[in-house]
Every structure is written in structure tokens, then in C-alpha cells.
């Protein structure tokens, strides 16, 4: 059994190395199968959080490499079910990236999945995504709107957090360009 686990770990390491190849040349940082969102620079995080064409490519490329689907350049060639699988993982990771931005801004105390590596989030998506989607990020008590947030029910709290995303993206982008 341990040989199977070691083989899977080695396979993920190779796939991560392949998936991060474009990240390394673009972001000039070190990435591995152990990289967490908290390890990313603010500049890289801000770039990925914007969800523009090029930033989407980097996430697609990583996801497709880890899932054995080729390069991000081949996304449009995938059959529909595989495209949806990549998009599901992309949106899941994008949420975590944006939550990490909000945490760096001091707006969140924590968010579901912050303890996982990026590779784990993708490789174990089917297993972990449902439970993580069911949990809500924790707004910081220092956030100016905390009192309003704390009076809401869980569904409303999630909506409240998501409505903060556009402002967080502007703030993190400004912050990353002033470094």
C-alpha cells in the first residue's frame, strides 16, 4: 500500500513540476507540489485573482498537467466533460485565491482550504471540494462591517463575503503595485 502512495506522490511531483513550468518563468518564484496559496507573493496572487485571459491560462495549465490532460494551450481542444472538470477546479481554486487576497488585506481571519497545497486542492478536488464549499470564510472582527456580517445567517454571510471580492481585487492590485 505504501508503494502505491509513494508512486502517486511521485506522479504528482512530476505533474506539478510540469504544471508550474510557465509559472516559474513568468512569476520568477519557486513553486512545488508543496506550495500553498499563503506561499505566493502578493504580486502573483493579485495577478491570478484578476481572472484575466493570461492568468486563467496559468491555472488551466496547472490543472490540466495535474489531471493528465496536456497543456493549458490545449484547453479548447478538450471534450466538453473534460472542459467542465477543468473549469470546476479553476473556479474552486480562484475562490481560494481571492479568499487568500482578502486574508492578506486583513479582511478574513481564515478560509476553508487554506491549509492545503495548491496541488492537493486540484488532485483531491472531488474529495475535498464539497466540504470546503459548505464552509464559509471567517470575516475578521477588525473589518468595519463585522457587526453587520455577524448578524446575518450563514447563507447571507457567504453572499456578504462574495460581495467584498471586487473591492478586495482592486485593493490587492493597488497593494501589489506599490511594493
> What size, in residues, is the chain?
179
Summarised one tens digit per residue, pLDDT across range 133-175 is 999 999 999 999 999 999 999 999 999 999 999 999 999 988 7
How crowded is residue 124: how many other Cβ atoms within 10 Å of its Cβ?
12
Residues 37/29, Cβ–Cβ less than 8 Å: no
How far is it, in rounded angstroms, from Cα 169 to Cα 162? 11
Q: What is the pTM (predicted TM-score) of this model?
A: 0.91
How far is it, in rounded angstroms, from Cα 136 to Cα 154? 8
Joined grid coordinates for residue 41:
507573493
Summarised one tens digit per residue, pLDDT across range 51-77 is 887 889 999 999 999 999 999 999 999
Residues 101/49, Cβ–Cβ less than 8 Å: yes
What are the residue ranges spanned by the domains of the chain? 2-177
Joined grid coordinates for residue 32:
512545488
Amino acid at each position: 500500500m505504501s508503494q502505491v502512495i509513494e508512486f502517486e506522490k511521485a506522479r504528482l511531483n512530476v505533474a506539478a513540476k510540469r504544471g508550474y513550468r510557465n509559472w516559474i518563468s513568468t512569476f520568477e518564484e519557486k513553486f512545488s507540489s508543496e506550495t500553498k496559496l499563503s506561499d505566493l507573493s502578493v504580486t502573483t496572487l493579485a495577478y491570478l485573482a484578476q481572472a484575466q485571459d493570461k492568468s486563467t491560462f496559468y491555472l488551466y495549465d496547472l490543472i490540466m498537467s495535474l489531471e493528465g490532460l496536456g497543456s493549458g494551450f490545449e484547453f479548447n481542444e478538450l471534450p466538453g466533460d473534460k472542459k467542465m472538470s477543468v473549469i470546476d477546479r479553476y473556479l474552486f481554486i480562484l475562490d481560494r485565491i481571492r479568499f487568500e487576497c482578502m486574508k492578506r488585506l486583513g479582511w478574513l481571519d481564515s478560509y476553508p482550504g487554506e491549509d492545503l497545497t495548491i496541488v492537493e486542492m486540484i488532485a483531491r478536488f472531488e474529495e475535498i471540494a464539497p466540504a470546503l464549499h459548505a464552509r464559509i470564510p471567517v470575516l475578521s472582527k477588525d473589518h468595519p462591517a463585522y457587526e453587520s456580517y455577524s448578524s446575518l445567517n450563514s447563507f447571507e454571510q457567504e453572499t456578504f463575503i462574495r460581495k467584498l471580492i471586487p473591492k478586495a481585487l482592486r485593493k490587492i492590485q493597488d497593494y501589489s503595485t506599490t511594493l
